[in-house]
Amino acid sequence: MFSLLALMLQEGHGQAGGASGPFALEPGLIIWTWIVFLALFLLLRKFAWPFIVRATEERERTIQQQLADAERLNEEAKASLDKHNQLLAEAKDQAHELVVQAKSIGEKEREQLLARAREEQEEILERAKREIDAERDRALADLRREAVDLSLAAATKLIQQKLGDASDRKIVEQYLATLEDKS
C-alpha cells in the first residue's frame, strides 16, 4: 500500500517538478482529506443519515419482520401438514394391517370349517359304507341260509330222505363256497 503511495508521490513530483502544479501530490493533503472525511462521516452518521433514512429503515424492518413471520408460519403449517399426513399414512397402514389380519383369520376359519366339514362328510360316508357293508353281509348271510334251507328242502324232496344233520349241511355249504369262489 505504501509502495503505491510512494509511487504516486514520485509521479506527482516527477510531472510537476515540485509541489506547485496541478499534478503535484501533497502528502499533507492526504492526511487532511482523511481527517475531513472521517469527521464528516462520523458527524453525518450520528446527526444526519439516521433521521433521513429512519422512516424507510423502519418500514424495511417491519416488512422484513413480516416476511420472517410469514415464513415461520408457513414453515409451521408445513410441519403440521407433514405430521398430519404422517398420521394419516399410519392410520391407513394400521387399517390395512387390520384388514389383512381379518382376512387371514377368516381364511383360516374357512379352512378349518372346510376341513371339519370334509372330515364329517367322510365320517358319514364311512359310516354309511360300513352300514351298507354290514347290511349287505347280513342280507348275504340271510340269503345264504335261505338258499341252504331251500336247497336242503329241495334235496330232501329229491332223495326222499331227510338230510338234515350237520355233515350234510357242510357238504352243501362247501359246494356253495365253491360257487362263490367261481363267481
Partner 1 sequence: MIQAEVDIGEILMHHTADAYSLDFSFFKLEWHAWPWAEFHLLGTTFNLTPTKHVVFMLVAGTLLFMTMWLVGRILERQRAGQKAPHGFANGMEAFVLWLRHDLVITNIGPHDGPRFAPYILTLFFFILYSNLLGLLPWGATATGNLGVTAALAIMALFTIELSGLFKLGIRGYMRTIFPSLPGMSGAGGLLMSLAMGPIEILGKLVKPFALCFRLFGNMTAGHFVILTLFGLIFMFGNLAGWRWAIGAASATLVLGVMLLEIIVAFVQAYVFAIINAVLIGMMQHEH
List contacts with partner 1 (CB under 8 A): 1-2, 4-6, 8-9, 12, 19-34, 36-37, 39-41, 43-45, 47-57
**Cell reading at 28:** 499533507
Among candidates 142, 144, 141, 162, which has minimal Cα distance to 153? 162
- The smaller minimum CB distance to partner 1, of residues 16 and 152, is found at 16
- The smaller minimum CB distance to partner 1, of residues 22 and 161, is found at 22
CB of 93 to partner 1, least distance (A): 45
CB of 65 to partner 1, least distance (A): 14
How many whole angstroms from its chain centre is CA 33?
76
CB of 14 to partner 1, least distance (A): 12
CB of 46 to partner 1, least distance (A): 9
- The smaller minimum CB distance to partner 1, of residues 59 and 84, is found at 59
CB of 15 to partner 1, least distance (A): 10
Measured CA to CA, the distance from residue 116 to residue 59 in angstroms comes to 84
- The smaller minimum CB distance to partner 1, of residues 25 and 155, is found at 25
- The smaller minimum CB distance to partner 1, of residues 44 and 153, is found at 44
